[in-house]
Structure 1
């Protein structure tokens, strides 16, 4: 069993800060690295895998520094988001080459086992150029697994996969986590993380926003104030009714738009149609104003 520890890790490119003072521990089991696009997830994974040096701070695996420590790389398997591959070779040749680079005792057996694990045995003799996006993802997974690493780092691994391929990979990650391996995968899609990860780390704009099990993170997200814009037959009368009922924290009626911020989503959703009916107001449109993942993550950062 292996544990990755990041201690006050930052990485910048010139004046651009990609990762800012992140401290986290990733242990055995499946951990989801969740955050919007551009949050710094890929940079963080590259530093965890030893492919990028932190500008400040340290990344260690079981107490040993990852950067410029080649012996550590035998314990780490990395599946990058980028699709740069050797298109002119077959899947078999690509995985076998990785097995030989690791100087495994039996590279042929290791390559065969890795391809079987990801369900690519039937297509192993086709050139990589002929593979779909999902098939390329699976071959990258095989190259990361061929040396039987204790740590697996996956950057947006579900991109381009069809539903059957996604279910296969989800099952594989579950099995790897159950074996005691340390598996971390990044995603900007909440549902992907919910399906697999027992622990979640949230990254926003390079900062570590939240950490814990999924239920805790989900609770933080659902308990945040919810904002709505409402259009009705009488916005002024409806605004007065909402204020009197107390189901919203703030009610703003400017520029012909009724904007409401409610702390309890369930209470507000039930109260709004009742108030409209009681005061003879017809609801024309009710739209959430802040339901994007970016707004959810921004709320977590601000806590």
Structure 2
């Protein structure tokens, strides 16, 4: 059972700060690294994999610095986001070559087991150049687990997979986590992470924004102020009705560029607002024409967590 620790880690490239003062501890089980694109997830994973040295702070595996220590790859497996593979070889040859590089006692047996685990036996004799995106992701996964590592790092591993492939890989990660492996996988999709991760670490703009299980992260997200754009048959009456609700903090009647109006609402209590809105419309004889969240992007959600 291995532990990866990041202690006040920063990484910059020239004047660009990619990771800023992140402290994190990853133990046995499945941990999700969640954040929007460009949040610094890949940079963090590259430091945990020993490819990048932190500009400040330390990244260790069981107390041992990771950077430029090739021996760590005996106990660490990696699925990078970028696809730089030997397309002219078969899936079998690619996984077998990795097994031989690890000097395993039975490389053929290890390759066979890894390929079966990711459900790629039917395509193992085909050249990788003919694989779909999802198949390439799975064969990369096979190379990462062929030596039975204690630590597994996966950067956006579900990209390009169809629903069946995704469910299968999720079950594989579940099983490996239950065996006591330390697994970290990154994603920008909360629903993807919460299905398999016992713990979630949220990063935004290189900063560690939040930490906890998916219920805690969901709670933090739903508690933030939510903004909505409303259009109705009587926007002025709707604005007057909505502002009287306790879960509403601000209401503005806005003139639309093409004519007409809309109501901009900021709600501090998400649950109370979504239940009150149809009731208010019915009470005042107003027909709702549009209810649109104005700030539901991951960037806005996570930026709120950073600002807390």
TMscore range, shorter length: over 0.9
Pair 1:41 & 2:41 matched? yes
Q: Which moved more, 1:116-125 or 1:24-33?
A: 116-125
| 8 Å Cα contact 1:201/1:210 also seen in 2 | yes
Q: Which moved more, 1:146-155 or 1:239-248?
A: 239-248
SS at match of 1:94: helix
Q: CA deviation at 1:160?
A: 0.7
SS at match of 1:36: coil
Question: For 1:158-214, what per-residue CA distance to the aligned partner results, in whole angstroms no more than 9, with x for missing partners?
Answer: 011111111110110000000000011000111110111010000111111000111
Pair 1:297 & 2:307 matched? no
The CA distance in 1 between the partners of 2:28 and 2:203, in whole Å, is 20
Counterpart for residue 165 of structure 1: 165
Q: CA deviation at 1:29?
A: 0.2
Counterpart for residue 253 of structure 1: 253
Counterpart for residue 235 of structure 1: 235
What is the number of equivalent residue pairs in this alignment? Answer: 303
The CA distance in 2 between the partners of 1:277 and 1:195, in whole Å, is 37
What is the TM-score with the length of structure 1 in the denominator? Answer: 0.96
The CA distance in 2 between the partners of 1:198 and 1:204, in whole Å, is 20
The CA distance in 1 between the partners of 2:73 and 2:296, in whole Å, is 40
Pair 1:201 & 2:206 matched? no
Q: CA RMSD in A?
A: 1.3
The CA distance in 2 between the partners of 1:96 and 1:272, in whole Å, is 60
SS at match of 1:119: coil
Q: Runs of 4+ in structure 1 displaced over 4 angstroms?
A: none
Structure 1: state its 5+ residue gaps.
none
| 8 Å Cα contact 1:45/1:153 also seen in 2 | yes
Structure 2: state its 5+ residue gaps.
256-260
Counterpart for residue 272 of structure 1: 277
